[in-house]
Chains A and B, each alone.
Chain A
Amino acid sequence: MPSIVRRVVVAFATAGAVIGIAGGALAQSTADEIEKYREALQDGNPAELWEARGEEMWKAPRGPKKVSFAACDLGLGPGVVKGAYARLPRYFPDAKRVMDLESRLVWCMENQQGVAPADATKNVFGNGSAKRSDLEALVAYVTSQSRGVKMSVPLDEPHVHDMYRLGEKMFFYRGGTHDFACATCHGDDGQRIRLQDLPNLTKVEGAQKAYTTWPAYRVSQGELRSFQWRLNDCFRQQRFPELVFASDASIALTTYLAGRANGAEYNGPAIKR
């Protein structure tokens, strides 16, 4: 090492001290520093770039029928975006189905804008030919319009209540080569995988903290990821087959987790590692 560098490093190296600390103190200082890292990221969230793109898409005429999302009812009336995400999933009589935001957006594309079903979900999660799809931008915009709104999924509605109970069963369903269930990693307090804190989703506080910060800009991927993506990628790591986008099971699990988060202020899209 050239002398100048050695001098600088010796004179001012601070992080090096971390190496010397053992056991609990080390884990604590690591956790504190990771917390500082997360705080530093809050200063600017690239999710805003998606929100801006999504807002334009929401307002523009789209699809073969040249219809904008002004006709799309997210549960609070056609085109109403403010606060809509905090009340999803919900039962939509026109579709005869409980829907989350993403399945509802796809329904509007197909049924109002005339988009072919295959096209509406072609590149979800950035699969296929594109790195990203319009859906992430639309999701970023719609969710941003519930920022500060209290989560209130209509669990009293019988269809929603049934999906909640099915989602709960799914959460505890162990299977695959590794015996994993959602609960394996998200069923206890204060646990981590590597250095990532795992929210205990069986408790209201844990579910609230987790659900209200999705979708999120993932710095590890440089992309905005939706809640459907979150579930899909959890099951991949659970060694399960692929969870189909907007499938009943994906909506049931979303209903369970969103319902657990009821009462908490929605605070997405967030920025995460």
Chain B
Amino acid sequence: MADPMKIRAHVVGDATEVKVLMSHEMETGQRKDAQGNTIPAWFIQNVKVMHDDKVVLAAQWGPAVAKNPFLSFKFKGGAKGDKVKITWVDNHDETRTDEATIA
């Protein structure tokens, strides 16, 4: 089971700023281990950020996104106390959803 994300969501003016760190290897599938065997690709493919029932950002990622991914963006609206919910799905069909309260 993957480790929880670290999500920060703050009201900035009329928008909500979201910053998230995810715990993931983001293995490219192009590296070799000490024995010379290719390490299979293992990376997050989809990220979806929800505010209430609305998708505020959706992403498709390849293995070129850095290990332990970071993402930062802003959406209009959102009030202190609201929830921001983030879900990722990787190429092994592992998934993780975490939630943060807008501060």
Contact = CB atoms under 8 A, between A and B. Distances in A.
Contact of A44 (B3, B67, B72): B72
A265 B63 CA distance: 38
Contacts, number: 30
17 contacts: A43-B19, A43-B70, A44-B19, A44-B20, A44-B70, A44-B72, A45-B21, A46-B21, A48-B6, A49-B21, A49-B68, A52-B3, A52-B6, A217-B68, A222-B25, A222-B67, A222-B68
Contacts of B29: none
B19 A52 contact: no
A53 interface: yes
Interface residues of A, number: 11
Contacts of B3: 49, 52-53
Contacts of A222: 25, 66-68
Interface residues on chain B, size class: 10 to 19
Interface string A23-46: 000000000000000000001111
Interface in A200-229: 217, 219, 222
B72 A49 contact: no
A48 B7 CA distance: 10
Contacts of B21: 44-46, 48-49
B4 interface: yes
Contacts of A43: 19, 70, 72
Interface string A94-116: 00000000000000000000000
A52 B23 CA distance: 11
Given A44-B21, A48-B6, A49-B21, 12 more contacts: A43-B19, A44-B20, A46-B23, A46-B68, A46-B70, A49-B6, A49-B23, A52-B4, A52-B6, A217-B68, A219-B66, A222-B25
A222 B21 CA distance: 13
Interface in B48-71: 66-68, 70
